[in-house]
Amino acid sequence: MVLPKRASFQHACNAVREHEDWLVKHLSKLKLKQASAAAHEGTLLFKGVRHESAELAAFAGVSVPRLETWMRRQAALALSESVARWATVMGVEPKRVSFRDQKTKWGACNARGTVTLNWRLVMAPPEVLDYVVVHELAHLKELNHSPRFWAIVERFCPDWRRHKKWLQVHGHLLSAR
């Protein structure tokens, strides 16, 4: 929360009291996420399975510092394959697909038909990765989050709620650096 420069200390205290329940709830969530990230330090998820970083690097045949580069290549392969498969099934054709390291989004689709996906989805279970792909490709038919959009997602990914929840609960582990 940001207060105007001329706001009094009393005004700040009142604002904190007014939003105390919200603050406690969100600070508790943040503490849980930080504890979870600390507990998993030195490990990485890859396709939904937790690995020691050194073991995954050895499996990939790279050094630990080069592991992210290897994972980005694996992400490009897995995401490209998923997009191609689901685009055919859904009868859509994105104009362009790109992979980025977005901080707050798993994917995006714009009116020009460009689909952008977060490369870190390769860390999630494959069915979660597929859910995000289906979600973004559904925007090629319905560029909003209307009931018609969700009906498209439901048609191709009936378990979408479970996968969305997985990202809400565990997504912070994919973004850990």
User: What CATH number does residue 92 fall under?
Assistant: 3.30.2010.10
Residue 70 lies in a domain: no
Using one digit for the tens of pLDDT, what is the confidence trace for 38-78?
Answer: 434 578 999 999 999 999 999 899 999 999 999 999 999 99
Q: Read off the pTM.
A: 0.77
Residue 44 lies in a domain: no
The boundaries of the domain holding residue 133 are 76-175
Residue 46 lies in a domain: no
Residue 150 lies in a domain: yes
User: Residue 80's closest CA among 10, 40, 130, 24?
Assistant: 130
What is d(CA 72, CA 38) in angstroms, rounded to the nearest whole number?
23
Structural domains counted in the chain = 2
E-strand ranges in the chain read 43-46, 49-52, 96-100, 107-109, 114-118
Using one digit for the tens of pLDDT, what is the confidence trace for 9-21?
Answer: 777 677 767 776 6
User: Residue 132's closest CA among 145, 117, 147?
Assistant: 117
Using one digit for the tens of pLDDT, what is the confidence trace for 142-159?
Answer: 999 999 999 999 999 999
pLDDT of residue 18: 78
One domain, residues 83 and 18: no
